Amino acid sequence: MTIATPYYLIDEKKLLRNLQIIQQVRQLSGAKSVLALKCFSTWSVFDLMQQYMDGTTSSSLYEARLGHEKFGKETHAYCVGYSQEDILAVTEFADKIIFNSVSQLDRYYDVVKSTKLGLRVNPGISHSHFDLADPARKHSRLGVVDREVLAQQLHRLSGLMFHYNCENDDVDAFSKQLDFIGEYYGDMLRELQWVSLGGGLYFTKEGYPIETFSKKLADFAKTFDVQVYLEPGESAITGCAELVTSVVDLVHNEMDIAIVDASVEGHMLDLLIYRLSAKIDESDTGKHQYMVAGRSCLAGDVFGTYHFQDKLQIGSEIRFADAAGYTMVKKNWFNGLQMPTIAVRRLDDTVEVIRRFSYADFLNSLS
């Protein structure tokens, strides 16, 4: 099937590889995994994902509702700040409601007390390569810091949520962190039913010691008699999608520059936020070097600099790898650029176009 660029292509076989690892961790450790919708909400592949995962977790009312309606199973509702309207809506379907602060728990407790409740805890430790994404950064608003204040709320709670990692692929660092959580909060956990260790644990990375990781989780759950939850986002979908683009112009300014029919700011925004280059599967040993840039008016709309085996031409296809996480959920209409189509290569290798976006979508996103 020929699909006009730009488009996101999700490959279910590559997705399945991650899901099978998630299932393996569940079997070895007993830890449940709920998909972090803030990273990936493309519900056209939820039928596959729900066979290997236990539900979803969210950062807003709309995400929670999407998880409930499209994924099913457990629906964990978390938000940094709920409004009264949010709470009234989410109590209709959430299995667990997790608050970011004691003040929000106090404000809404009478409304939600029949639901299983949790509080997010800021343990003061983290693993992040970026201050922007560090939940334990100075003056962080994310989670309860004061241990005594937290202890006073236990009678209202069934669990706690700790989210303090970002792309942590170091099992030794994870183990030390978990030991700290157990030492500092273990007495509280023994009074509760569940604990979420959040997301940001890159346990589907090639070569990651799954058995060591799983044993650590299992021992922790047994020690404190709690159900452990993980909230994989990127770990669930890493490496399973591409952003497929075409070259629309070639210019030269001290180096060759290829302009493609997509945009970093519009279609892979996290690269811009964290000042990263997009990944491509093309070998970096080619003799033809190009900066590849997007077609928005932003001067810094650059995917990266790469070496290609062949010279690029107008119409040459460039595929950016690892394009599932924090892309489709963040895509936007900056410059009114054509938004990429979303397509899925199913397990039987058929390619299904899920959604094409049109001028009407652009028009209706405004007023």
pLDDT score recorded for residue 134: 85
| Domain boundary residue, one of 236, 260, 284 | 236
Task: Give the residue numbers of the binding site for substrate.
Answer: 234, 270
- Rounded distance between C-alpha atoms, residue 349 and residue 313, angstroms: 29
User: Residue 183: inside a domain, yes or no?
Assistant: yes
Residues 152 and 203 in one domain: yes
Q: Are 149 and 133 contained in the same domain?
A: yes
pLDDT in tens, the chain (367 residues): 799 999 999 999 999 999 999 999 999 999 999 999 999 999 999 999 999 999 999 999 999 999 999 999 999 999 999 999 999 999 999 999 999 999 999 999 999 999 999 999 999 988 888 888 888 899 999 999 999 999 999 999 999 999 999 888 999 999 999 999 999 999 999 999 999 999 999 999 999 999 999 999 999 999 999 999 999 999 999 999 999 999 999 999 999 999 999 999 999 999 999 999 999 987 677 899 999 999 999 999 999 999 999 999 999 999 999 999 999 999 999 999 999 999 999 999 999 999 999 999 999 999 9
Query: Are residues 215 and 251 both part of a single domain?
Result: no
- The H-or-E segment that residue 255 falls in is none
Annotated binding site: 234, 270
The residues, ordered by sequence, that sit 6+ positions from 207 with a Cβ below 8 Å of its Cβ are none
Domain count, the chain: 2
Provide CB contacts within 8 A for 62, sequence distance 6+.
Answer: none
* Nearest Cα residue to 301 out of 262, 243, 245, 341: 262
Q: Which of 236, 256, 284 is the last residue of a domain?
A: 236
**79 and 118 both lie in a single domain:** yes
Domain membership flag for residue 57: yes
Are both 67 and 155 inside the same structural domain? yes
> How far is Cα 87 from Cα 77, in angstroms, rounded to an integer?
10
pLDDT of 283 reads 64
Q: Say if residue 36 is in the same domain as residue 144.
A: yes
For residues 77 and 90, the answer to whether their CB atoms sit within 8 Å is yes
6 assigned to some structural domain? no
Residue 7 lies in a domain: no
3-state DSSP assignment of residue 58: coil
Residue 255 sits in the same domain as residue 232: no
In a domain, 2, yes or no: no
Structural domain that includes position 179 = 12-236
pLDDT at 133: 82
On the question of a cis peptide bond just before residue 340, with omega within 30 degrees of 0, the verdict is no
Q: Are residues 148 and 54 in the same domain?
A: yes
DSSP string, 200-265: -B-TTSTT--HHHHHHHHHHHHHHHT-EEEE--SHHHHTT-EEEEEEEEEEEESSSEEEEESS-HH
265 located within any domain = yes
Residue 41 carries which side chain, given as an amino acid letter?
A: S
Residues 6+ apart with CB under 8 A from 90: 61, 64, 65, 77, 82, 97
Q: Quick check: pTM over 0.85?
A: yes
Residue 3 covered by a domain: no
* Amino acid at site 101: S
Residue 301 contacts residue 364 (beta carbons within 8 Å) = no
Is residue 160 within 8 A of residue 121, CB to CB? The reply is: yes
* Residue 222: inside a domain: yes
Residue 352 three-state SS: strand
Q: What is the CATH number of the domain that holds 69?
A: 3.20.20.10
Domain boundary pick from 181, 214, 236: 236
Residue type, 207: G
